[in-house]
Amino acid sequence: MQEKGQKACELFEVLREKLTRIRIEDYGELEAEDERRLDALLAGLATSASSAPIRPLDVFNLNYSSGVSSVGVMVTYLIVLLQFKTGGNGTGALGQ
């Protein structure tokens, strides 16, 4: 599965490079509607490329959204731990 994900990322990058080359070389030859569509497509690809995944230990992709989600989980877990710790006479929130 990891190899397929890596291959998809590589193909995505090749696609972005080829479309950018088309935009530079053939931009004046395209019709106005095609130029607009190509610009919109490249803008979307640029947004995706800016959030290209980091591959920690080549185990999984870590992009912006998964990073924010991971931080949210850690903060939530920390809040829960702090609530149990401050639950009274030192025995925790569950201890009576």
Query: Which string of DSSP letters, residue by residue, matches 32-96?
Result: HHHHHHHHHHHHHHHHHHHTPPB-GGGTS-B-HHHHHHHHHHHHHHHHHHHHHHTSSSSS-SS--
Look at residue 84 in the predicted model and tell me its pLDDT.
87
Structural domain boundaries, residue 67: 63-96
Same domain, 27 and 40: yes
Look at residue 72 in the predicted model and tell me its pLDDT.
93
Same domain, 39 and 72: no
Same domain, 46 and 74: no
Residue 72 or 29, more confident:
72
Look at residue 53 in the predicted model and tell me its pLDDT.
65
Same domain, 31 and 78: no
Same domain, 94 and 67: yes
Same domain, 50 and 6: yes
Look at residue 57 in the predicted model and tell me its pLDDT.
77
**Least confident span in 18-27, 69-78, 82-91:** 82-91
* Alpha carbons 64 and 73: distance in angstroms, whole number: 14
Can you give the pTM of this predicted structure? 0.42
Dihedral sign of CA atoms 43, 48, 49, 51 in order: positive
Q: Is the pLDDT of residue 86 over 70?
A: yes
Same domain, 53 and 67: no
The total number of structural domains in the chain stands at 2
pLDDT in tens, 37-85: 888 888 877 766 555 567 777 777 777 777 788 899 999 999 999 988 8
Same domain, 6 and 36: yes
